[in-house]
């Protein structure tokens, strides 16, 4: 059996799903309510002080936000979901300062608000970009975005 | 004392990725800096969702002209993981060879670019001349100088011909000789020392806090390298050193990259000498089953990460790519603190940005609202002149 440094009784109790893809890749899903607590535990106790990036995925009614945390050879992808109507997630910039740009990126492209992040100003989208267009949501296909921008 | 706000960037026609920094300065010293990206946001992640996996190989390869191999390996690995395909050993070795050649040509190019930024044009000309050796080697193997088009899901599209091995080995010897000379130069030449030693300090604590990657991280004394920590392709079978320096400044970043070239040359030699025989490709289905994968590669500039989600069709559901420069931007902001305006170009060059230089800078005098614009070239001349006086 491979050594699983991330293994944690608390996490196993809280998690909705844990998938060990291979020895160096783990996926953990937690509810939106448990997210901040889980992140604190992973960063402070389990030593996942590094983040590779944050991925947003449009899964229909919800937006999935995946935090790819690093610990030496291991990448633990912690995921949580938030409603598309009002997508909010607590920030982690106080725990991992290196996540600031990644949160701004997801905010730009998916419209997720990271509560507590002091700077969510546009990072990638141009000035004057329409407020309600989040280009990586599935609803906005390349054609619609093009049409909308040409029309405005 | 009043502070000035200096918008720096976003564009320069000669360089690849524009970026805008707004520097707050107090006299000559940088107090803080704010970032704005997106001037070349091409929406590649969105485009990828409209394309088949085979089409995406070519799209991903064009994310970056210099790290095309790093991106395409990263993407192929993610697809191969979901498919459960193991590629032939020979393909793993050849991927490693091309990835290391890419690192060599990138580091040569970067050395020249940095020399140009400090006004050392002779070194710039020499390194870019020698970089041609590396590009010719890549061309011998793949048929192209950039965007090699040799990778595919399941291995490689073409095999290495026996006739290519000797020219490649000769090229490696030349590159090694030249880099020995450049490394000596970087350690002794007064112009280089004056512009790099103690410039752009990034303490190990900050490097980790802000998530630096690649040579930028290793020049702050942190021994971390995806090739070693999370090996892919044939790196597990190669023996090489992870180069670290603890000067935490641009000088350390220079030397770390110079020495990395020696390690890359060594890896290619080992790979060529032990190259397994056999096929270079396994055929894979065009539809990929449901699943997800995280793939990491050590690109020339540092960790490159792709997250892929497949939904069972021939098109992918989501592809997230995080190139190393984005990870190095927050550490870069940290490096500017308390440095001189004249050091800005060298510090930016120090992380080997895919953004490179900046188009113009404007000085805004907050007291009498006068504006004073400089071009990026003028800033470069200003910094060279500033140092000449000292």
Mean pLDDT of B29-58: 85
CB contact under 8 Å between B209 and A25, yes or no, is: no
Q: Token pair of A34, please?
A: 């448990």
Q: Which residues in chain B are closer than 8 Å to A139, comparing Cβ atoms?
A: none
Residues B289 and B174 in one domain: yes
Burial B370-379 (b: 16+ CB within 10 A, else e): eeeebebeeb
Asked if residues B336 and B344 have their Cβ atoms less than 8 Å apart, the reply is yes
CB contact under 8 Å between A124 and B35, yes or no, is: no
Asked if residues A91 and A118 have their Cβ atoms less than 8 Å apart, the reply is no
Mean pLDDT of A130-136: 86
CB contact under 8 Å between B38 and A124, yes or no, is: yes
Q: What pLDDT is stored for residue A32 in this prediction?
A: 94
Out of A21, A55, A122, closest to residue B320 by CB? A55
CB contact under 8 Å between B211 and A24, yes or no, is: no
Residues B106 and B137 in one domain: yes
Mean pLDDT of A115-123: 90
- Render pLDDT for B49-89 as a digit per residue (tens, 0 to 9): 989 999 999 999 888 878 889 999 999 999 999 999 999 99
Q: Which residues in chain B are closer than 8 Å to A77, comparing Cβ atoms?
A: 294, 307
Boundary of a domain, candidates B281, B298, B322: B322
Out of B211, B294, B303, closest to residue A98 by CB? B211
- Render pLDDT for B183-210 as a digit per residue (tens, 0 to 9): 999 999 998 999 999 999 999 999 999 9
CB contact under 8 Å between B307 and A68, yes or no, is: yes
CB contact under 8 Å between B208 and A51, yes or no, is: no
The C-alpha of A50 sits at a distance from chain B's nearest C-alpha, in angstroms, of: 6
> How many CB pairs lie under 8 A apart between chains A and B?
83
Asked if residues B292 and B82 have their Cβ atoms less than 8 Å apart, the reply is yes
CB contact under 8 Å between B309 and A57, yes or no, is: yes
Positive or negative torsion for Cα B316, B87, B227, B251: negative
CB contact under 8 Å between B46 and A68, yes or no, is: no
Contacts with A31 (C-beta within 8 Å, 6 or more apart), sequence order: A16, A80, A81
Q: What is the mean pLDDT of chain A?
A: 88
Whether the predicted pLDDT of A109 surpasses 50? yes
Whether the predicted pLDDT of B358 surpasses 60? no
Q: How many domains does chain B have?
A: 2
Mean pLDDT of A56-66: 93
Instruction: In whole angstroms, give the CA distance from residue A23 to residue B377.
Output: 50
Q: What pLDDT is stored for residue B366 in this prediction?
A: 36
Question: pTM for this one?
Answer: 0.89
- Render pLDDT for B148-178 as a digit per residue (tens, 0 to 9): 989 999 999 999 988 899 999 999 999 999 9
Does residue A97 sit in helix, strand or coil? helix
Q: What pLDDT is stored for residue B14 in this prediction?
A: 38
Out of A49, A75, A98, closest to residue B330 by CB? A98
Instruction: In whole angstroms, give the CA distance from residue A63 to residue A83.
Output: 6
Q: What is the mean pLDDT of chain B?
A: 86
Asked if residues B76 and B105 have their Cβ atoms less than 8 Å apart, the reply is no
Taking alpha carbons only, the member of B329, B297, B264 closest to residue B68 is B297
Q: Which residues in chain B are closer than 8 Å to A149, comparing Cβ atoms?
A: none
Residues B21 and B113 in one domain: no
Q: What pLDDT is stored for residue B10 in this prediction?
A: 62
Q: What pLDDT is stored for residue B8 in this prediction?
A: 66
Whether the predicted pLDDT of A124 surpasses 70? yes
CB contact under 8 Å between A68 and B211, yes or no, is: no
- Is residue B9 assigned to a domain? yes
Residues B343 and B383 in one domain: yes
- For an interface test with A, give the residue of B38, B50, B59, B351 to mutate (most A CBs within 10 A): B38
Q: What pLDDT is stored for residue B136 in this prediction?
A: 93
DSSP B242-286: PP--S--SHHHHHHHHHHHHHHHHHHHHHHHHTPPPS-SB----S
Residues B108 and B217 in one domain: yes
Q: What pLDDT is stored for residue B240 in this prediction?
A: 94
The domain that holds B193 is classified in CATH as: 1.10.645.10
Residue with tokens 């190019």: B109
Domain that holds residue B13: 4-40+334-388
Q: What's the Cα-to-Cα distance from A14 to each of A17, A45, B127, rounded to whole Å?
A: 9, 16, 55
Q: What pLDDT is stored for residue A4 in this prediction?
A: 54
Residues of A contacting chain B (CB within 8 angstroms): 21-22, 24-25, 27, 49-53, 55-58, 66, 68, 72-73, 75, 77, 96-102, 122-126, 135-136, 141-142
CB contact under 8 Å between A96 and B211, yes or no, is: yes
Q: What pLDDT is stored for residue B15 in this prediction?
A: 45
Mean pLDDT of B249-278: 95
Mean pLDDT of B357-378: 43
Whether the predicted pLDDT of A5 surpasses 70? no
Give the H/E segment covering residue A81: strand A74-83
Domain boundaries A9-123, corresponding CATH code: 3.30.460.80
Q: Token pair of A84, please?
A: 């598309």
Boundary of a domain, candidates B268, B288, B322: B322
- Is residue B133 assigned to a domain? yes
pLDDT band (50, 70, 90) for residue B365: very low
pLDDT band (50, 70, 90) for residue B134: very high
Residues B97 and B48 in one domain: yes
CB contact under 8 Å between A142 and B211, yes or no, is: no
The C-alpha of B37 sits at a distance from chain A's nearest C-alpha, in angstroms, of: 5
The C-alpha of A119 sits at a distance from chain B's nearest C-alpha, in angstroms, of: 10
CB contact under 8 Å between A101 and B229, yes or no, is: no
CB contact under 8 Å between B329 and A55, yes or no, is: no
Give the H/E segment covering residue B310: strand B302-310
Q: Which residues in chain A are closer than 8 Å to B309, comparing Cβ atoms?
A: 57
| Angle made by CA atoms B114, B116, B122, in degrees to the nearest 5 | 115
Residues of B contacting chain A (CB within 8 angstroms): 35-38, 41, 43, 45-47, 50, 81, 208-211, 229-230, 292-294, 296, 303, 305, 307, 309, 317-318, 320, 322, 326-327, 329-330
Does residue A94 sit in helix, strand or coil? coil
Q: What pLDDT is stored for residue B284 in this prediction?
A: 92
Residues B215 and B291 in one domain: yes
The C-alpha of A66 sits at a distance from chain B's nearest C-alpha, in angstroms, of: 10
Burial class (CB in 10 A: 0-12, 13-18, 19+), B40: middle
Strand partners, B316: B310
Q: What pLDDT is stored for residue B31 in this prediction?
A: 85
Mean pLDDT of B128-132: 94
- Render pLDDT for B86-121 as a digit per residue (tens, 0 to 9): 999 999 999 999 999 999 999 999 999 889 888 899
CB contact under 8 Å between B229 and A72, yes or no, is: yes
- Is residue B329 assigned to a domain? no
Q: What pLDDT is stored for residue B146 in this prediction?
A: 85
CB contact under 8 Å between B322 and A66, yes or no, is: no
Long-range contacts (CB closer than 8 Å, 24 or more residues apart) made by B190-196: B191/B118, B191/B119, B191/B120, B192/B115, B192/B118, B192/B120, B192/B251, B192/B254, B193/B251, B194/B387, B194/B390, B195/B118, B195/B250, B195/B343, B195/B346, B195/B387, B196/B118, B196/B249, B196/B250, B196/B251, B196/B254, B196/B346, B196/B350
């Amino acid at each position: 059996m491979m050594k699983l440094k991330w293994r944690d009784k608390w996490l196993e109790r809280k998690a909705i799903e844990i998938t060990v893809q291979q020895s160096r890749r783990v996926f953990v899903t937690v509810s939106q309510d448990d997210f901040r607590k889980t992140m604190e535990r992973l960063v402070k106790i389990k030593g996942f002080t590094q983040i590779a990036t944050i991925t947003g995925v449009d899964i229909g009614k919800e937006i999935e936000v995946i935090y790819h945390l690093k610990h030496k050879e291991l990448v633990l992808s912690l995921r949580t979901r938030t409603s598309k109507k009002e997508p909010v997630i607590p920030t982690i910039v106080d725990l991992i300062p290196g996540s600031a740009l990644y949160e701004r990126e997801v905010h730009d492209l998916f419209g997720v608000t990271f509560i507590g992040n002091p700077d969510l100003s546009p990072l990638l989208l141009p000035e004057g970009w329409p407020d309600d267009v989040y280009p990586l949501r599935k609803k906005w296909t390349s054609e619609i975005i093009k049409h909308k921008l040409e029309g405005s | 004392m009043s502070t000035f706000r200096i918008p720096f960037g976003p564009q320069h026609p000669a360089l690849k990725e524009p970026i805008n920094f707004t520097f707050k300065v107090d006299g000559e010293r940088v107090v803080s800096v704010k970032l704005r990206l997106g001037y070349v946001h091409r929406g590649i992640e969105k485009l990828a969702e409209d394309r088949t996996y085979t089409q995406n190989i070519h799209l991903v390869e064009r994310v970056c002209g210099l790290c095309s191999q790093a991106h395409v390996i990263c993407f192929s690995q993610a697809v191969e993981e979901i498919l459960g395909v193991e590629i032939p050993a020979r393909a793993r070795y050849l991927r490693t060879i091309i990835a290391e050649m890419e690192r060599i040509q990138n580091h040569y190019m970067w050395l020249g670019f940095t020399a140009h930024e400090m006004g050392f044009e002779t070194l710039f000309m020499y390194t870019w001349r020698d970089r041609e050796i590396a590009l010719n080697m890549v061309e011998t193997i793949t048929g192209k100088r950039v965007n090699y088009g040799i990778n595919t899901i399941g291995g490689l599209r073409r095999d290495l011909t026996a006739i290519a091995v000797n020219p490649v080995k000769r090229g490696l010897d030349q590159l090694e000789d030249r880099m020995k000379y450049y490394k000596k130069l970087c350690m002794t030449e007064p112009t280089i020392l004056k512009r790099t030693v103690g410039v752009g300090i990034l303490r190990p604590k900050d490097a980790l806090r802000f998530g630096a990657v690649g040579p930028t991280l290793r020049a702050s004394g942190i021994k971390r390298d995806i090739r070693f920590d999370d090996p892919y392709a044939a790196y597990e079978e190669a023996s090489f050193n992870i180069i670290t320096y603890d000067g935490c400044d641009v000088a350390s970043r220079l030397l770390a990259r110079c020495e990395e070239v020696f390690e890359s040359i060594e890896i290619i030699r080992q790979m060529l000498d032990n190259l397994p025989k056999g096929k270079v490709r396994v055929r894979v289905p065009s539809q990929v089953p449901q699943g997800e994968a995280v793939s990491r590669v050590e690109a020339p500039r540092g960790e490159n990460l792709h997250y892929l989600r497949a939904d069972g069709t021939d098109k992918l559901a989501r592809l997230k790519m995080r190139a190393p420069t984005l990870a190095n931007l927050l550490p870069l902001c940290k490096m500017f603190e308390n440095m001189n305006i004249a050091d800005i170009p060298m510090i930016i060059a120090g992380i080997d940005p895919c953004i490179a230089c900046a188009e113009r800078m404007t000085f805004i005098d907050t007291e009498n609202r006068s504006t004073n614009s400089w071009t990026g070239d003028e800033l470069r001349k200003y910094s060279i002149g500033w140092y000449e006086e000292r």
